[in-house]
Chains A and B, each alone.
Chain A
Amino acid sequence: MTAKTQLLKVSDTGIRFGGLKAVAGVNLELKKGELVGLIGPNGAGKTTFFNLLTGVYVPTEGTIELDGEKLNGLQPYKITKKGISRTFQNIRLFDELSVLDNVKVAYHSLVNHSMLSSIFRLPSHFSGEREMEEKAIEFLKIFNLDQYMHEKAKNLPYGQKRRLEIARALAAKPKLLLLDEPAAGMNPQETEELMNLIALIRNKFELSILLIEHDMLLVMGVCERIYVLDHGQLIAEGNPEQIRNNPKVIEAYLGEEVS
């Protein structure tokens, strides 16, 4: 690892729902260009942690900083504009919109033409929309989704839906991409394709990725560093080799398969 600058800094962050501490005292750092895994048994608080990062929940303790800017308390859409974008464990696409339009929605915050220019169909509307469309099509080509461009998102096969969700998240031009179990429900071949895709994304878009995954093979294979969450607290951090041999991790996963 060459020395890189820091991107995300999470300090002592947590949230309690009533009396229940769902996540507590998490310290986590991500450097630019890093691909980091976040693993843990079911109910460890991984998705809750993502929800804290993206503003769906507001942390009740600690601070979250991206590029030195504090994100606590910002609404989700503002955090997306600051540079964190995500996918969801249970895919959330815009089902009735076409594949192309799904990506265009992510470009929305980057448009220049005003609402009035669209309503009165001024020239800036046409040029703005055309530019958006060209960009989106080019983007879909990278993901081999351009063939489904005009298909409604809900009609895509499962694997392609996951792919589209990642594409859409990337279209929002994030500095940090959060992937929530991207391989869930995929067969081994699809998982392998996905691993290649994630590697490609990171090189091509020069961003950092934080990955929640159950598939150990995938996490151990692509991640440089791994954090392990259990009962809402970090219990280990290290490279795949260290994590594999960490007794605490083995204990947390006891009964579950650690490959």
Chain B
Amino acid sequence: MELKDKLVHAFMAFENQLDLDHPVHEVRSAAIKTFEKQGFPNKKMEAWKYTSLKSLEKIDFSLFPKNSPSLEYSAVKEYFLHEVDTYKIVFVDGVYSSYLSETTHQGIDVCLMSAALTKDMYKPVIEAYFNKIAPLEENLTALNTAFSKEGAFIHIPKNTQAMKPIEIIHLATGAASALMLQPRNLIVVDQNAEVQIVERHQSLTENEVFTNAVTEIFADKSAIVDFYKIQNDAHTASLVDNTYIDQKDHSVVKVHTFSFGGKLIRNNLNFYQNGERIDSTMKGVTIIGDKQHIDHHTLVHHRQPNCESHQDYKGIYDGSSTGVFNGKIIVDRLAQKTNAFQQNNNLLISDKATINTKPQLEIFADDVKCSHGCTIGQLDQDALFYLQSRGIGKKEAQALLMYAFANNVLASVRIPELKRRINALIALKLGVQLGFDL
């Protein structure tokens, strides 16, 4: 049975274990119908021209694993920002691990989607926000919605600052067989509130893992949200990350995506500006090789005047890896005085690596500043000679230049420990030891 049929068949059994009277029941039922009608995206769709899920659809994924092994903290410690104090919401094979987690309800809610979806006290938040910006007619988002049950639920109330970063960690043991996971996160940051979130998907198995994640983020007026995505997964792990962000007046949301590993990664990162004087930033560093594939699809929808968006994606592609960057900016007629910047720079290290980069600007306002630039190139030979002439070997000099190439994306990382870790990961990915102050 192909994956689509398996998922549609599994839905009934899945729903039966849940509360059928809950309003989300109808949302789920509508969503599975959408998915049943649309199926998985295919290469005939413009947005999926360069990324095929065909090979994943043929794998016999287990959808609801039973008896996941318990993990010792020491075995997975390296995947946590363990040097600093953080809140942690940890899932093992899609199931919440209270043992590895550190949640809170003191002042802020850092807890579980399953709790938010079932407990009465969260009903107003769920009714106001759940599935409200995730588009109803998008194949994979609908699929996730149909099976939405577990994930992270974060609510930062008005005028509150989360005192430590929040880690959302999805671990896959896939002990028995190939595993499909569909985490669903909801993050609500009220007026003038602030939060830093680090999300990571990590497979601990050689078995195939396919994650189809949906995250909805609501940033109310003057809210500040920093979201960091770490994608350094095993070579048998694939991820489709669908993130939807709703911003109100004066809010500042930054999403950093660090992609260093995994088999196939598709990031659908969507910003909707529903207010004035909003700042939306998305930055990415991609360093991949072998036969890895990454596809960054970004969207910024400028709907109101006087807002800004900044995009800066750097990619380094080795081996026969393939990359896609598709950056769409829509500026509505109403959105005068928009400043939208987009930059995508790529280095191809091997002859067999490929990058497809496409800016897509739809501007309906006349008083706007929009710029975009993309480059695909090799390392600057003059810079290389300069470094070599100072005694730095060619390999190290190349690494230093690649590091420099990616570095300005790191400058805006506001968690020092995370920055140090990403620095170290970059050095590791480039295969050299450098005398950086990490």
- Are A and B associated in one complex? no
